[in-house]
Amino acid sequence: MKPAEGKLGVMAVGLGAVTTTFIVGTMMYRKNKGLPGGSVTQMAKIRVGRGENRRYLKMNEIVSMTDCRDMEFAAWDIFPENAYESAINARVLLEKDINPVKDELEKIQPLKAAFDPTYVSRLAGQGNNIKQGTRSEWVEQLREDIRNFKKRHGCNRIVVIWAASTEKFIDYCPEVHDHLSDFEAAIRDNRCDVIAPSMCYAYAALMEGAAFVMGAPNICVDIPAMWELADKNGVPIAGKDFKTGQTLMKTVLSPMLRTRCLGLAGWFSTNILGNRDGEVLDAPENFRTKEVSKLGVIDTILRKEDQPELYGDIFHKVRINYYPPRGDAKEGWDNLDIFGWMGRDYGMQIKVDFLCRDSILAAPLVLDLVLCSDLALRAGLKGTQRWMSFFLKSPMHDYTKGEEPIHDLFQQYTIFKNKVRELGGYEPDEEFE
């Protein structure tokens, strides 16, 4: 593995609540003024070795990790406000925690975004910091943005991470998405119906040798054409959708039901949130993208084919409601109808009310995904990084070969720790069933 020398450039798509919370928190942390709570790369200890040789080490003691002080930040956004103004407008962090890094934040002026209002209808007409041109012209402009940022700040490596809004749902299109040559032809032909803006960012990043992370449920790098490009250029990709509130709880509660052999009759989930993400998801075509991501979580944990008497007939419904008074402080409410001894006639309920802060939960995931992507880049890993699924709601997998994603949080963490051990030269010795 190449050592973590020089600067790491972090380019975020979107300079909204999640990105500004991540940047401010990272800047404060490297000034010893903030706690990186929720960040596995900064806080967790992982066992290496067994028996008398057993030790518990932080990740930077196992593998070469980029120091947060060696990170440079940039972002694309449709709104022209700089990172300081955006952080204030997001109303996630208190001004007392933003102002100490005001000067640094004001220097981060958003680059013009590749934006198609048909993919995010609720933001149509709201921003004017937008690139002009076709899909092909967008790609060239985005590639130039990456090159310019890398040169201007003297960065050795670049990670691009999508922290923007959820795009509308589009179907997987085999004749375009299966092969890189067809995908590139669709870009040249300006096929706006099957080439989403997020795909232009991902394609540009991979062409520039930058790692790419998809933090929303958009169909983007989870298509064979992108896997082909990532493999061809030797670049890691990861996604999709930051695992923050309600889905995090599902990946914890579902394994509990399975382990105790408790049946599940139904699971109803609803969210209320009032930030820009909530506004975007208020549109049915954008909610559909998120719904697909959320609905798939419990199926691979509670396998109906293995235990049909417990999980053969689950009614699963998900709702998201835009409620402006809450802002970034969203609420996820779940009702589980479960059963056990003597069957469904003796049903029970579990109710979870998760009062959380969306960006406070997402920011450490962004840091971890950026640092792990950089780790993968320096280690020469390419293509889909399944070991990073621990941080993501809808793990990427090769559905063309019938592969099923692993959603169980504890199994995902085992895979993650084993990869870290392996990259650090230790035995990846932890198993799961």
Measured CA to CA, the distance from residue 424 to residue 30 in angstroms comes to: 24
238 and 268 fall within a common domain = no
Last residue of a domain, one of 295, 326, 355: 355
For residue 294, the model assigns a pLDDT of: 62
Average of per-residue pLDDT across 160-170: 94
Give the least confident one: 85-94, 119-128, 171-180: 119-128
**Residues sharing a CB contact under 8 Å with residue 176, sequence separation 6 or more, in sequence order:** 182, 183, 186, 191, 194, 195, 225
pLDDT of 1 > 70? The answer is: yes
- Output Rg (C-alpha) for the chain, integer angstroms: 21
% of the chain residues with pLDDT over 70: 98
Total count of domains within the chain? 2
* pLDDT-based confidence at residue 136 (cuts at 50, 70, 90): very high
128: nearest Cα among 89, 75, 79: 79
* pLDDT-based confidence at residue 263 (cuts at 50, 70, 90): very high
* pLDDT-based confidence at residue 219 (cuts at 50, 70, 90): very high
**Residues sharing a CB contact under 8 Å with residue 359, sequence separation 6 or more, in sequence order:** 17, 18, 21, 22, 90, 92, 275, 328
For residue 290, the model assigns a pLDDT of: 66
For residue 288, the model assigns a pLDDT of: 74
Give Cα separations from 19 to 46, 74, 308 (angstroms): 28, 10, 43
Q: Is residue 289 part of a domain?
A: yes
Token output for 16: 């909204």
Average of per-residue pLDDT across 383-395: 96
141 and 195 fall within a common domain = yes
Last residue of a domain, one of 331, 355, 379: 355
Last residue of a domain, one of 330, 355, 380: 355
For residue 278, the model assigns a pLDDT of: 78
Which tens digits make up the pLDDT trace of 280-323?
A: 877 777 777 666 766 678 888 998 999 999 999 999 999 888 88
Number of Cβ within a 10 Å radius of residue 168: 20
Q: What is the DSSP letter of 169?
A: P
Measured CA to CA, the distance from residue 147 to residue 133 in angstroms comes to: 19
Furthest CA-CA distance within the chain: 68
Give the least confident one: 5-14, 325-334, 383-392: 325-334
400 and 367 fall within a common domain = yes
124: domain range?
7-242+359-423
Residue 124: φ, ψ to 5°: -60, 130
Which tens digits make up the pLDDT trace of 333-386?
A: 999 999 999 999 999 999 999 999 999 999 999 999 999 999 999 999 999 999
